[in-house]
Chain A
Amino acid sequence: MKNYVLPVLLFILLLAGTAYYLQHDKQASAESGKQEIGIEEHEDDDDELDHDIRQQLVQGNLSVILTTAAQSLAGIKTVPAETMKFENELTTFAMVIDPQNLFDLRYRYVNTLANREVLNTTLANSRQVLDQLNQLNSETTNISKRDLQLARSQFQENKAKKTAFDVELHNIRSQMIQQWNRPLTEMALKENSELFSRLTNKEELLVLMSLYKGQKLADDAAFVFINNNNDRNQARKAYVISPATFSNQTLQGETYFLRTNADKFRVGMRLHVWLPDMRLPKEGIHIPEQAVVWYAGQPWAYVKTEDELFNRHSLLDAVKTDTGWLVKENFSDGDQLVVFGAQTLLSEEFKWAIPDEDDD
């Protein structure tokens, strides 16, 4: 029996060892779930610490810190910010309109006016006849009452006719103002109107310019540029006559009458228009488009504040231009704007938010 003691002891030891091993193994496996399924600790390259030390708070703002080597590796490039004077242009459309209706009205007006002049003479004559007959009747009473009544009625008739002409003239003028606005009406009715004669002679054309809703023409704007194609360089001046009284069929904004040299334009043509943008400031820091990144619903640009420090500045109050943004605040002349690698900096700043693609 004594001989059995050692083997039994050994067996118990062995069982205890196995139990310990299994327990230890279970715990070890739990401590590294990833390791269990095969991903070695060092193979998970996403280095949690590494991006923590690439950020720091500078005056309350979170800055991205990148060594010069990392900047070069990531191809980050900056340019100095510059203040720019800016004259942006808006584009819109215009149409060469047929002024025939204006011509017709003017013709009617002039015609009526001429008729009224003739009538004025007739009225003067009939008044003179009536006056003479009245005098003769009162002095000699040798004229027939009938002649006197006839002359009176002739005079009254002519007077009424004159009133009618006056009314018609007023109506035509009103119609012209209504349809073509006062300045153009005035020009049209003005005797020896140069514009009208140029319009009549087809030396100049009348253009209806329509602005988009929200667009404004400066109060002092005397001219805009127009062309029948999209070539701004070949565009020519068109002079503002007045706000128009009717709208374009397609656009909703304000309309204006313009005049321009006829040359290559014909009635019915649709023209491109360039006019100064009144909404933009005339001066500000220009942020090029490639420097802008969107985050949290607003545009931002990165500025290199020190050799290895980058700060993200908001462009919320900036104004969009054709080539980028114009900003008055948050940026200064000479700021080093990141024009290549802004998205990389954004990624670095929000590296914690980059999901692990394997965990899908």
Chain B
Amino acid sequence: MLAALVRFSINFRGVVIGTATLLMIYGLYQLNRAGLDIFPEFSPNLIVVQTEAPGYSTERVEILVTRPIEAALSGLIGIDHVRSESIQGLSIVNVYFEEDTNIFRNRQLISERLSALVDVLPEGVGPASPVPMASSSATILTMGVTSDTKSLMELRSIVDWNLVPTILSVPGVADVNVFGGEIKQLQVQIDKDKLFKYGLGIDEVVTAAKQATGVFGAGFIENTNQRLTLKLNGLPDNKDELAKVVIKHIDGLSLTLGDVATIDYGAEAAFSKGAIMAKEGIVLMVIGQYNANTLTVSNAVEDAISGMDKIFAENDVSFHPGLFRPANYIERSVSSIVGHLLIGGLFVVAVLSIFLFNVRTAFISVLAIPLSLLTAILMLLEMGINLNIMVIGGLAIALGEVVDDAIIDTENIFRRLRQNHLSDNPQPLKDVVFNASMEVRGSVVYASFIVALVFVPLLNLSGITGRLFEPLGLAYILSIMLSLLVALTVTPALCYLLLANSASKADEPFLIRKMQQAYARLLRFIARYPYSIISTSLVLCLLGMSILPGVGGQFIPNLREGHYIVHTSSISGTSLEESIRIGNQLTRRFMDIPGVISVSQWAGRAERGADTFGTHYSEFEVDLKRDLTGSEQQTVLDEIRNILDEFPGLRHEAHNFLSERIYETISGYTAPVVVNIYGNDLDALDRKANEVAQVMREIRGARSVQLQSSTDTPMLSISLDLDKLKQYGLAPVAVANMIKAGFEGQVVGKYQDTNRVHDVVVVLPKPERQNPASVSELPVKVADGLIVPLSELADIRYQNGRYNILHQDGQRVQSITSEVAGRDIVSFMKELESTVLERVQFSAELYPEFTGAAIEQAKAREELIVLSVMMMLVVLMLIFVAIKNFWHVILMLLNFPFALVGGVIAVLLTGSNLSVGSLVGFVTLFGITIRNSIMLVSHYRFLIEEEKLPWNLETVILGAQERLPSILMTALVTSLAMMPIAINSDNPGREIMGPMASIIIGGLVSSTILNLLIMPSIMMKFARFRH
């Protein structure tokens, strides 16, 4: 089949070259249109169901909201597991589906189940709805507004009614999370003293306000000729008119809303606050849709809001458009990496021209590279995979094989044509090209498949690693497969077209000739000391391998995004005011760090967000100057961490944005040791969890033992006295409604302010809502018209309560997490499990589960090892098929550690850690080495079996000499192409590919020495060929 393909390509060279040209043009066209991103979508197959339950306590949210939602969603096809968190006023249910299920179908299934919940959830709660599916990086832009003259309420109105709708209209924007500001309401602020004074109940005020407000339609009148629309006017729609609304008549007097309440515009109870440069304002976070391209959407959003400058200027509003712009990093990375790849490309051309000393040969080799890569890009785009750093990485590391494919073929055809020209019995040129192509083809095909197979485990990695590195693996495999196709079709066709005549007349390239002569002398020298060489190699290998375990590990290297995200968390119960005060203190210090250009903060959570952050939680965006180098950025980060360490009462973390997103996406606990206690009784759960925590603390190596569901949140507990309620003729719900109206506010209607619609709310004035004593004094009207304070009907006391209630697969869970230091985790887990089971009593309703990130990782690692071993066996079989001699396979395998030693030395020299990217570098290296080895062994076999040469030193030297140009060129071209990326890799765009490139370059050096110097000696000494 291969022969037919090659022959077809030579015979129909015009068609093949035309198709290739078309593909290149189309590829370039598509490349220009393709969006760029940093990472592929790496978010898990997760649907988040968010339900607001205003005013409900954590326990109520759990029982009345979370449980029904979990019950409704249970049993859906494809669910892997369900976790939920209930906090005051909010329920979040995270439904994780199996990875291979369709996320859109999953969302559809969830939506269908949720629609049936409308009547199940309590009034005023919800609706339960899936949050917009955001891209993995989520944030597209963070911006903010502040003003010296406008109030926070005015600012929020501008944001809600002008800025947010404009941004939401941009395709690719999923949502805009708004932090801070004050949402305008028309508030009927009840004067509780006046309720006592006039003997009125809150419910009477609510009823009066409800009947007075609203936006209604009135229908129309239609007769035989016309339809007349009825327009209803006169409903109170401003504070003065609302104040005139009568509540009731007392002693001939009309008592109005204005008599018992202050009617004024006020702010809705805030979920969050925002500050920019330590000045209170509004922070907006633009969230990208699932699969949306960060760069494209960022630009579109910026275009959309570019016209709003005028509105801001007119309103005396300071707009901060770029508090955080992830696209900056993409732009900088891509321009940096494209620049370096272009420099690398020039190196490729230079090396090929110098080595081949023939413009046409160099042209064919050079052309094959972009053709293979562009075709791979086209296929990736067709598969729906956008261009990102991982895809570019895959293409870049495939460069070695792609270059090799192009060079081997061209060089061999060139050489055979030249030999044919010098031969006494020249063959037809078509046959020479065909035979020369087929001579190397078999081994090239095997080598390509073997290398592709080596990458297959990468496609099967689970979790976030899989999602991140799958596109890299795909890009790599596609590149080498398409490079193989190009080598089978376009290269022979072009060689025949361009070299058939010219190569015949060409001399052997000067440089190659000289190098081959020198190489032969060197090989003869080495052949005299085979054991010394092998021993030296062995020592070097062992040295290299012994270093490897000592090198630090990292999932991904530090990305130099020019931006840091800082999280701070105080004890739960800390107010928004205090969080902002702390934030302002921190912001001022951050701003003093050289290189920081802006700092913004938000505390709490956004209204429609999927986060369950309380008011004690803050996040800071620290943006840096554009031109900071990697090390300068690290200095800023160190300084930020120093300040945070100094600050009392804070737990904190500072990461760059993408690492942050990746860590956030990793499902489950990030703590290495987790003990989950399942049960129904919350108090029993807490007690048992405390017992387990106590046992855990006593185990050697335990650090930072924590209960995940905090029970230290300050609460004011109102326990209604049902006997008293009976005595006063009151229904419990009536009292609950009055409390809600007083402190949460009761929405009674809407009012229209030009084109904006706001809520009308009955609530206590702000000072009353800030004073805990107001709860006891809340007036409640009882059945006989008497007004009694709430303290008369309920036991009101301060107590510590739960901040959140967690569920795992519908069951209440309290988790205890721990770090482990100074001992290995396996023995720690064993001791923990046995000690806990021995010292803590569990029952059928209350039972533990021992888990943790390390356990999960160990499972994943086991799967990977099994898969890798299986793949290695298949690879071994393929190598055996390629070189057809088991003994030669063993000889080849012995050489690999030496090839990898260069990579290890590169890791050491560059001072980098071992990341997944580095491992990919090693895998690539393995591919290149195996390929070169196969080619060398196959060539020896060709010389012996086809050309009938004897197996002796001369044949060994001849075979090696003939392989020298392609091995050397491949190594040089790949190394030089990678060099600009490898140098100074701790800079934007090069963080992931840099270590890969260093390893590949280092490995290529050792692998080339192996293939050129040691392999022939070993083959000479130990290999045997049969004629």
Taking A354-B571, A355-B706 as contacts, is the C-beta distance between A7 and B894 under 8 angstroms?
yes
- For the complex, is B655 an interface residue (Cβ under 8 Å from A)? yes
Cβ contacts A246-274/B at 8 Å (1 or 0 each) = 00011110000000000000001010100
**What residue in chain A is nearest B566 (Cβ atoms)?**
A45
Contact among B199, B574, B666, B823 for A250, CB-based, below 8 A? B199
- Inter-chain CA distance A294–B575, complex, in Å, is 12
- For the complex, is B645 an interface residue (Cβ under 8 Å from A)? yes
Which residues from chain B contact A347 at a C-beta distance below 8 Å? 570-571, 574, 616, 648-650
Which residues from chain A contact B858 at a C-beta distance below 8 Å? 26, 29-30
Taking A45-B653, A74-B649 as contacts, is the C-beta distance between A33 and B893 under 8 angstroms?
no
- For the complex, is B554 an interface residue (Cβ under 8 Å from A)? yes
- Which segment of A36-44, A78-86, A170-178, A197-205 sits at the interface? A36-44
- For the complex, is A54 an interface residue (Cβ under 8 Å from B)? yes
- For the complex, is B786 an interface residue (Cβ under 8 Å from A)? yes
In the complex, the answer to whether B708 meets A360 with C-beta atoms within 8 Å is: yes
- Which segment of B170-178, B289-297, B796-804 sits at the interface? B796-804
Distance in Å: Cβ of B74 to nearest Cβ of chain A: 21
Contact among B552, B646, B825 for A31, CB-based, below 8 A? B825
- Which segment of A62-70, A139-147, A235-243 sits at the interface? A62-70
Which residues from chain A contact B78 at a C-beta distance below 8 Å? none
Which residues from chain B contact A91 at a C-beta distance below 8 Å? 193
- Inter-chain CA distance A297–B861, complex, in Å, is 48
In the complex, the answer to whether A36 meets B857 with C-beta atoms within 8 Å is: yes
Which residues from chain A contact B208 at a C-beta distance below 8 Å? none
In order of increasing CB-CB distance, the 7 nearest A-B pairs are: A38-B555, A33-B672, A347-B649, A33-B854, A250-B199, A348-B649, A30-B825
Known: A38-B659, A92-B196. 10 other contacts (CB 8 A): A14-B893, A17-B545, A29-B858, A34-B853, A37-B853, A48-B703, A213-B788, A250-B199, A297-B797, A343-B578
Which residues from chain B contact A349 at a C-beta distance below 8 Å? 649
In the complex, the answer to whether B706 meets A294 with C-beta atoms within 8 Å is: no
- For the complex, is B847 an interface residue (Cβ under 8 Å from A)? no
- For the complex, is A350 an interface residue (Cβ under 8 Å from B)? yes
In the complex, the answer to whether B788 meets A10 with C-beta atoms within 8 Å is: no
Taking A34-B670, A344-B582 as contacts, is the C-beta distance between A358 and B653 under 8 angstroms?
yes
In the complex, the answer to whether A45 meets B652 with C-beta atoms within 8 Å is: yes
In the complex, the answer to whether A356 meets B854 with C-beta atoms within 8 Å is: no
- For the complex, is B612 an interface residue (Cβ under 8 Å from A)? yes
Between A and B, how many residue pairs show CB distances below 8 Å? 262
- Inter-chain CA distance A74–B644, complex, in Å, is 10
Cβ contacts B564-575/A at 8 Å (1 or 0 each) = 000101111111
CB contacts under 8 Å to B, within A329-358, are: 340, 343-358
Which range holds the interface residue count of chain B? 35 or more
- For the complex, is B126 an interface residue (Cβ under 8 Å from A)? no
Contact among B191, B196, B585 for A75, CB-based, below 8 A? B585
Contact among B647, B664, B710 for A73, CB-based, below 8 A? B647
What are 27 sample pairs from A and B whose C-beta atoms fall under 8 A apart? A6-B1022, A10-B538, A11-B893, A17-B542, A21-B548, A22-B865, A27-B824, A29-B553, A29-B857, A33-B855, A35-B554, A37-B666, A44-B653, A48-B819, A50-B645, A64-B648, A70-B648, A74-B648, A249-B786, A344-B570, A344-B648, A346-B571, A348-B649, A351-B649, A354-B571, A354-B710, A358-B670
In the complex, the answer to whether A344 meets B857 with C-beta atoms within 8 Å is: no
- For the complex, is B12 an interface residue (Cβ under 8 Å from A)? no
**What residue in chain B is nearest A35 (Cβ atoms)?**
B553
**What residue in chain A is nearest B535 (Cβ atoms)?**
A6
Distance in Å: Cβ of B523 to nearest Cβ of chain A: 19
Taking A29-B861, A298-B798 as contacts, is the C-beta distance between A352 and B825 under 8 angstroms?
no
- For the complex, is A89 an interface residue (Cβ under 8 Å from B)? no
- Inter-chain CA distance A64–B659, complex, in Å, is 34
CB contacts under 8 Å to A, within B781-826, are: 785-789, 792, 797-800, 803, 806, 815, 817, 819-820, 823-826
- For the complex, is A61 an interface residue (Cβ under 8 Å from B)? no
Which residues from chain A contact B664 at a C-beta distance below 8 Å? 358
- Inter-chain CA distance A25–B578, complex, in Å, is 46
CB contacts under 8 Å to A, within B86-116, are: none
- For the complex, is B26 an interface residue (Cβ under 8 Å from A)? no
- For the complex, is B309 an interface residue (Cβ under 8 Å from A)? no
Which residues from chain A contact B616 at a C-beta distance below 8 Å? 347, 354
In the complex, the answer to whether B798 meets A33 with C-beta atoms within 8 Å is: no
- For the complex, is B935 an interface residue (Cβ under 8 Å from A)? no
In the complex, the answer to whether A31 meets B820 with C-beta atoms within 8 Å is: yes
Contact among A17, A28, A249 for B785, CB-based, below 8 A? A249
Which residues from chain A contact B553 at a C-beta distance below 8 Å? 28-29, 32, 35-36
In the complex, the answer to whether A70 meets B647 with C-beta atoms within 8 Å is: yes
In the complex, the answer to whether A30 meets B854 with C-beta atoms within 8 Å is: yes
- Inter-chain CA distance A75–B579, complex, in Å, is 12
Which range holds the interface residue count of chain A? 35 or more
Distance in Å: Cβ of B563 to nearest Cβ of chain A: 16
**What residue in chain A is nearest B792 (Cβ atoms)?**
A213
In the complex, the answer to whether B193 meets A230 with C-beta atoms within 8 Å is: yes
Taking A346-B649, A353-B710 as contacts, is the C-beta distance between A270 and B198 under 8 angstroms?
yes
Taking A33-B852, A46-B704 as contacts, is the C-beta distance between A345 and B649 under 8 angstroms?
yes
- For the complex, is A359 an interface residue (Cβ under 8 Å from B)? yes
Which residues from chain A contact B820 at a C-beta distance below 8 Å? 31, 33
- Inter-chain CA distance A354–B662, complex, in Å, is 23
In the complex, the answer to whether B575 meets A32 with C-beta atoms within 8 Å is: no
In the complex, the answer to whether B571 meets A7 with C-beta atoms within 8 Å is: no
- Inter-chain CA distance A268–B647, complex, in Å, is 61
- For the complex, is A282 an interface residue (Cβ under 8 Å from B)? no
Distance in Å: Cβ of A356 to nearest Cβ of chain B: 7
- Inter-chain CA distance A73–B646, complex, in Å, is 8
In the complex, the answer to whether B894 meets A38 with C-beta atoms within 8 Å is: no
In the complex, the answer to whether B651 meets A212 with C-beta atoms within 8 Å is: no
Cβ contacts B642-677/A at 8 Å (1 or 0 each) = 011111111111110001001110100111110000
Which residues from chain B contact A70 at a C-beta distance below 8 Å? 646-648
In the complex, the answer to whether B643 meets A350 with C-beta atoms within 8 Å is: no
In the complex, the answer to whether A345 meets B648 with C-beta atoms within 8 Å is: yes
**What residue in chain B is nearest A343 (Cβ atoms)?**
B578
In the complex, the answer to whether B894 meets A359 with C-beta atoms within 8 Å is: no
- Inter-chain CA distance A7–B612, complex, in Å, is 61
- For the complex, is B732 an interface residue (Cβ under 8 Å from A)? no
- For the complex, is B897 an interface residue (Cβ under 8 Å from A)? yes
Which residues from chain B contact A356 at a C-beta distance below 8 Å? 569, 651, 671, 706, 708, 817
- For the complex, is B384 an interface residue (Cβ under 8 Å from A)? no
Contact among A21, A30, A46, A92 for B824, CB-based, below 8 A? A30
**What residue in chain A is nearest B575 (Cβ atoms)?**
A343
Which residues from chain B contact A31 at a C-beta distance below 8 Å? 820, 823-825
Distance in Å: Cβ of B868 to nearest Cβ of chain A: 10
Which residues from chain A contact B714 at a C-beta distance below 8 Å? 294-295
**What residue in chain A is nearest B817 (Cβ atoms)?**
A359
Distance in Å: Cβ of A248 to nearest Cβ of chain B: 8
**What residue in chain B is nearest A346 (Cβ atoms)?**
B571
Which residues from chain A contact B785 at a C-beta distance below 8 Å? 249-250
Distance in Å: Cβ of B178 to nearest Cβ of chain A: 21
- For the complex, is A190 an interface residue (Cβ under 8 Å from B)? no
Distance in Å: Cβ of B812 to nearest Cβ of chain A: 15
- Inter-chain CA distance A310–B893, complex, in Å, is 67
In the complex, the answer to whether B825 meets A73 with C-beta atoms within 8 Å is: no
- Inter-chain CA distance A270–B191, complex, in Å, is 14
Contact among B574, B612, B645 for A360, CB-based, below 8 A? B612
- For the complex, is B85 an interface residue (Cβ under 8 Å from A)? yes
- For the complex, is B311 an interface residue (Cβ under 8 Å from A)? no
Which residues from chain B contact A250 at a C-beta distance below 8 Å? 196-199, 785-787
- Inter-chain CA distance A39–B654, complex, in Å, is 11
Which residues from chain B contact A21 at a C-beta distance below 8 Å? 545, 548-549
Contact among A29, A298, A357, A358 for B854, CB-based, below 8 A? A29
In the complex, the answer to whether B582 meets A74 with C-beta atoms within 8 Å is: yes
**What residue in chain A is nearest B83 (Cβ atoms)?**
A360
- For the complex, is B617 an interface residue (Cβ under 8 Å from A)? yes
In the complex, the answer to whether B712 meets A353 with C-beta atoms within 8 Å is: yes
- Inter-chain CA distance A24–B534, complex, in Å, is 26
- Inter-chain CA distance A38–B662, complex, in Å, is 9
